[in-house]
Structure 1
């Protein structure tokens, strides 16, 4: 069985056993990941703990805090269960088909990826919401999916089908907060 966790948009948790989704839950609240995730994981793992063989973490793109909550939870779950944790791009959890997938990353911008048979083949990239390019020529005619949720069950299936592993969170833009340049001199 595979436990998958994604917090790039809302909070999504799933347990997949082969072709069967044995647990799936999603909360659309994009700001309370930590509050939702603990109880969702408890329900997901009930009676299944010793059968989990892999944990999949959605690595974004998404907001800093939301991604960190999900990635930390996935790594902690894997460590506690004694199994491997792999990270993959969250856009792999939006469709099992072929599409240009976009997600809202705030500030009037969208992250976009080309997805073929449920696997991210290009991206994610960042663009102004009104300037997301059309699907690549190789995928001309593919629909554009403006997604507002990631399905952790699809993320688990993408991992099984060989989705590229991602080692670090996909933020796509620099942090809002920056380290201080040091103490300021006070003049009197």
Structure 2
């Protein structure tokens, strides 16, 4: 990035819908101009467009004032994540703006600074999405597993901090690492994570689903029913 940029930020990788407008300096310093967070995973599609309008109005901006769109690519559940990425892509296409995707866990990891950290978010089905960081860089993941399996990471590669929803960090850290309760990425952290790529041509906006969606078409269900069952 060679100059100041103003970006619209969207993330629906967690149960919390995050939208914001962030100004990035030429050095990558991020300043939040407006932000909305709504914790309701069942209403991502209903509220996202309204929240975008609210943050633009609060920042006294219109779409033409933006330089780019930044979208959290997950990992996250299929339906919610798809809503955010589709909205970001449509908004960028309508305004002729580049759309940059960033791993949502990378943004959450920023709270740990340069410490070695394990970041987790709720993947449902009694599992978590996770990634491990050292010196501010991702060194393992993202992946999905049960919390007990992820906890074994602390034995193989000890970390200073476990970051994520408290119901998971307590179980995973188990007194062996500091716990930091964070349930969703901030607009500022998402924008900062994307700052090195701003001003360049973005790659494809690829979601990190990590597993198949919960819902499948009826024809897929029928196909599964015809598969042999291993004894």
TM-score, scaled to structure 2: 0.70
Deviates more, 1:158-167 or 1:69-78: 158-167
Partner of 1:158: 193
Cα distance change of structure 1 residues 166 and 91 upon mapping to structure 2, 3 Å threshold: farther
Cα deviation for residue 116 of structure 1 reads 4.5
Structure 2: 5+ residue stretches without partners? 1-5, 25-29, 166-182, 226-231
Report Cα offsets for 1:73-107 as digits up to 9, x if no partner.
Answer: 11111112211001111112213224210011001
Cα distance change of structure 1 residues 135 and 68 upon mapping to structure 2, 3 Å threshold: farther
RMSD between superposed Cα atoms in Å = 2.6
Cα distance change of structure 1 residues 82 and 135 upon mapping to structure 2, 3 Å threshold: farther
Whether the aligned pair in 1 keeps the contact of 2:32 and 2:187 (CA below 8 Å) is no
SS class of match (2:86): helix
1:105 aligns with 2:123: yes
The structure where helix makes up a greater share of residues is 2
Whether the aligned pair in 2 keeps the contact of 1:100 and 1:112 (CA below 8 Å) is yes
Partner of 2:13: 8
Between the aligned partners of 1:144 and 1:166, the Cα distance in structure 2 is 30
Between the aligned partners of 1:78 and 1:88, the Cα distance in structure 2 is 15
Whether the aligned pair in 1 keeps the contact of 2:118 and 2:159 (CA below 8 Å) is no
Between the aligned partners of 1:68 and 1:158, the Cα distance in structure 2 is 20
Cα deviation for residue 141 of structure 1 reads 3.5
Structure 1: 5+ residue stretches without partners? none
Whether the aligned pair in 2 keeps the contact of 1:59 and 1:166 (CA below 8 Å) is no
Cα deviation for residue 30 of structure 1 reads 1.4
SS class of match (1:23): strand
Q: Number of residue pairs matched? A: 182
Partner of 1:127: 145
